[in-house]
Chains A and B, each alone.
Chain A
Amino acid sequence: MDQPLPTQVKEAIVRCLRLPLAPQDIADDVPLFGDGLGLDSIDALELVLELERLFGVKISDEQLGRRVLRSVSAIVELIEQTKGRAPAAQG
């Protein structure tokens, strides 16, 4: 059975960014960039590619990126919105 979506996102973040953390160490609402987890623009690029690959979400511009990559919760929200728009056969 699939893990809850927030857990999947946290696992993806830790794995693709090779973070020295366990997925459960990342709180849902902790800021991913700056003073929170300390990620930067190169991490953002990697994360955008990984989220697209795993969850089919398109983060096509910087403004959307800033909003969505704010936290795990914000990423989960976008994934759920994307799933909601997708045809049932693919969901």
Chain B
Amino acid sequence: MRDHVVVTGAGCLSSLGIGADTFVDELLAGHTGIAPVTRFSTEGCRSHSAALIRDFEPARYIDPLKLRRIDEVGRLALAACRLATEDARLPTGTDQVGVALGSATAGLHSTISHLHSLATTGPATVPALGFSNTIGNAAASLCAIEFGLRGPNLTLGQKQASALAAIVFAVGLLRQGRVAAFLCGGVDDIEEHFFRVHDRFRVLSPADGQQEASRPFHAQRNGFVLGTGAHIVAIETAAAAARRGVAPYGEILGIAATSSACEPHAWPAGPDGIARAMRGALDDAGVAASEVSVVFAAANSTRQLDWVEALALEQVFGPCAVPVVSIKGAIGESGAAGAASLMAALVCLRRGTLPPSLGCTPQDPACRVDVSPSARPARGRIALVNATADGGAQYCLVVRALPAGEVECKARVAL
């Protein structure tokens, strides 16, 4: 029998604060992490808001001598991995733990900085110190070095679906028995050029004459708001967790990956790719659609994605047949958002309350989904988590939350 994979630790740095409990407290309270950008200038842009990580002090997590040569994404990855490792009491210095990061911005800050040096003073003065940070896998490598994690080590860049891509990959290796545990999830940070390119491509919700806001499923939604975050989970086989006596947040019951094979920067033209991923994850989990308590949607306030995801939900569950939540009204869109949804799903279901979908009303009548602008009671413990990237990559997880302190998977492993 296939060993179950469980989530035993969470490391969270977000625009709603530090720590998984703080993150969920703020989500349930209906607070937003989106605010006017002050970290860099947005002068001349159509959009001026983002959800930037708050209260993060890198020196609390990283030795100052190391900190000087680790760029923004690396700092976030290291800190989130440290929090997840501590939360799971995961062993360090071992061949049996891997690191799988999902990121759309790994290496971005260092690359911009090196290009700036190259353009202004030429190749002779380009600093060697930060060069290794320009490599896309630098942040994951630093995590391996810092904690002595000698299992598989990789970074997947799948834009907005990066985090779930990494988690799905890690679950696959755990099921094959290749390693005992993974630190996996998403890490993204933004800087001025990244923001300005998105602004220029006109994908962000604009302020000029309109309401600049992240409003998934809203009738007048007009684009997404960029987010940031580091959401890392420790996952391991149920057997490994039971041996260590660690009580999981929940089980990852099913995974699936599909593609809509659409144009490079386009959202899927239709619902089929998203529906196939959801059906695939439900099949993999052995769970019927009617057993799902809530869907944490990928919907991000863009006209197209929210609509096609709503159609896909209708195909799989029926119109308004399952409670749907999008937390992107609170945290914006990023490559880490899927892992943020996973954490939110497990902790919220454990607490028995679903978070609000900020900005969802008045709802688009073309999006026939059961969303709520307010927190509401959760029925059951099974969640489906979606992530979709422009370009068409689609990942889906089916998870089951476990009550605090319950090592429920032991019995199944014994079978």
Q: Do A17 and B68 have beta carbons less than 8 Å apart?
A: yes
- For B125, list chain A residues within 8 Å (CB): 53
Check: A85 CB closer than 8 A to any chain B CB.
no
Task: Provide the residues of chain B in CB contact with A43, threshold 8 Å.
Answer: 129
Say whether B44 faces chain A, with CB atoms less than 8 Å apart. Answer: no
Known contacts A38-B65, A42-B69; decide if A17 and B129 are in contact (CB<8 Å): yes
Which has the most chain A C-beta neighbours within 10 Å: B67, B125, B129? B129
Interface residues of B in 91-134 (CB under 8 A from A): 124-125, 127-129, 132
B129 in contact with A20 (CB, 8 Å): no
Counting contact residues on chain A (CB < 8 A from B), the size range is 10 to 19
Q: How far is the CB of B110 from chain A (nearest CB, A)?
A: 13
Complex interface residues of chain B between 27 and 70 (CB less than 8 A to chain A): 64-65, 67-69
Smallest CB-CB separation from B127: which chain A residue?
A: A46
Give the chain B neighbours of A19 by CB distance below 8 A. 65, 68
Q: Does A45 contact B (CB under 8 A)?
A: yes
Q: How far is the CA of A20 from the CA of B65 in the complex (A)?
A: 7
Specify the chain B residue showing the minimal Cβ separation from A20.
B64
CB distance from B352 to the nearest CB of A (A): 46
- Ordered by A's residue number, 7 sampled pairs between the chains whose C-beta atoms are within 8 Å are A18-B129, A20-B64, A20-B65, A20-B67, A42-B69, A42-B132, A46-B128
Complex Cα distance, B124 from A42, in Å, reads 16
Q: B71 to chain A: closest CB distance in Å?
A: 12
CA of A19 to CA of B124, assembled, Å:
21
20 further A-B pairs in the complex, CB-CB below 8 A; given A20-B67, A38-B65: A16-B127, A16-B129, A18-B68, A18-B69, A19-B65, A19-B68, A20-B64, A20-B65, A20-B68, A42-B128, A42-B129, A42-B132, A43-B129, A45-B128, A46-B127, A46-B128, A46-B129, A49-B128, A53-B124, A53-B125
Cross-chain pair count, CB within 8 angstroms: 26
Question: In the complex, which residues of chain B have a beta carbon less than 8 angstroms from the beta carbon of A18?
Answer: 68-69, 129
How far is A46 from B108 in the complex, measured between Cα atoms in Å? 21
**B130 (CB) vs chain A CBs: closest residue:** A18
- Which of B64, B65, B69 has the most C-beta atoms of chain A within 10 angstroms of its own C-beta? B65
Contacts of B127 in A (CB 8 A): 16, 46
Contacts of A38 in B (CB 8 A): 65
Residues of B within 8 A of A16 (CB): 127, 129
Using Cβ atoms and an 8 Å threshold, which residues of chain A touch B65?
19-20, 38
Closest Cβ of chain A to B131, distance in Å, is 8
User: Whole-angstrom distance between the alpha carbons of A88 and B366 in the complex?
Assistant: 83
A66 CA to B273 CA, complexed, in Å? 58
Compute how far the CA of A18 lies from the CA of B125 in the bound complex, rounded to whole angstroms: 15
When distances are taken between beta carbons in the complex, the residues of chain A under 8 Å from B129 are 16-18, 42-43, 46
In the complex the two chains form, what is the Cα distance from A49 to B131 in whole Å?
14
Q: A43–B67 Cα gap in the complex (Å)? A: 13
Which residues of A are found within 8 Å of B67, using beta-carbon distances?
20
A45 to B69, CA, bound (A): 13
A18 and B127 CA atoms in complex are apart in Å by 11
4 closest residue pairs by CB, A with B: A18-B68, A20-B64, A46-B128, A45-B128
Q: Give the distance to chain A from B318, nearest Cβ to Cβ, in Å.
A: 57
Closest A residue by C-beta to B59: A20
Residues in A whose Cβ lies below 8 Å from that of B132: 42
| Cα(A70)–Cα(B20), bound, Å | 46
